[in-house]
Amino acid sequence: MDSARSWFHKFQPRDRVRPSARKKEGTGAEKEETIPTAGDETPSNVTKQKVAAAKQYIENHYKEQMKSLQERRERRNILEKKLADADVSEEDQNNLLKHLEKKETEYMRLQRHKMGADDFELLTMIGKGAFGEVRVCREKTTGNVYAMKKLKKSEMLRRGQVEHVKAERNLLAEVDSNCIVKLYCSFQDDEFLYLIMEYLPGGDMMTLLMRKDTLTEDEARFYVGETVLAIESIHKHNYIHRDIKPDNLLLDKYGHLRLSDFGLCKPLDCSTLEEKDFAIVNGPNGGHQGDPAAPKRTQQEQLQHWQKNRRMLAYSTVGTPDYIAPEVLLKKGYGMECDWWSLGAIMYEMLVGYPPFYSDDPMSTCRKVNLGIQLIQILVISLYYKFQVLGL
């Protein structure tokens, strides 16, 4: 018993000594030694970020769980109503309801499966950027076809783009709209981050414009209208896209438009432009550069020059400022209006054949954008579209 008692006393908390009662010895003068208490410790910024991320993850998880449960109940109610209206025996009704429950259970089991790159067969590459690539892929178990966005984590860290990727993933997970590309799942390994998204076989607006040069006013009205719905769907969730351009307007197999590539999107409350976001504006010495006098061309010559350089610009990792709003280029405060400016530039290109501020080099384009919309020569479009372009 005594040995057990002595073993137990080893784990008893020592009496707490007040700071004023503890003295240092051997110094000649007695000094008080303060002992930090738990209340004095302030969590670091890293700890706060981890706590905020964990809180957001838990909230999103239970939000998705409740949404999934509600959708499951709605599907059962819809089936029950259809069976009640149909001439189906009670036994067949029960069998159909059991079949639905079986499918729902299988679906939930698949959702719990931890996805990885090995679950997909990589097919054709359809895009390449500064941080990775986009490939068509096929899920091995189901045969479903998706678009896999594969991003190199070390490159994102080196360029300080982690927050942009987080914003892209959060937006795709949060916004439920038929006007934007759907995100099915995301996962990562030691080297890459993977986003498994909806595959749209219709190509993009850039390819359509390369093939047709210009669109009719009815065609432009249709695609501009669908782009408006797409932009509004992300603005409702307080995000701004900041990279609206023809390359990011994808088409499904029916010809409907979906907005994609949210790598530069930001929540509206964080919309102050960072210096690294659009480095294309400044040259090595920090000033605007480029030829002071751009060559004068007729509309037909400008169209031919743009067609010649369009494909090269599309595959450039540097980017083009043709669709970027002036307040973004000038690194001033801005909000949702920058996306509408970009849409106006795209609408102009749909109808005329080239962007309104196109020049031989990006710096000259930046200067034209900053000079303002008075440089646009509106020649071949109707009065209605003149007002639309000038309004945007």
Binding site, annotated residues for ATP: 149
Distance CA 173, CA 185 (A): 9
Distance CA 38, CA 19 (A): 14
Distance CA 236, CA 266 (A): 13
Q: Is 190 among the residues known to form the active site? A: no
Distance CA 251, CA 352 (A): 21
Q: Residues 232, 227, 349, CA angle at the centre, nearest 5°?
A: 135
Contact between 356 and 348 under an 8 Å Cβ cutoff? The reply is yes
HSE (CB half, 13 Å, CA atoms) of 383?
0
* E-only strand ranges, 140-228: 145-152, 183-188, 192-198
Cβ neighbours of residue 215 closer than 8 Å, sequence gap 6 or more: 208, 209, 223, 350, 351
Given the residues 118, 190, 204, 243, select the one marked as catalytic: 243
Query: Which residues are annotated as catalytic?
Result: 243
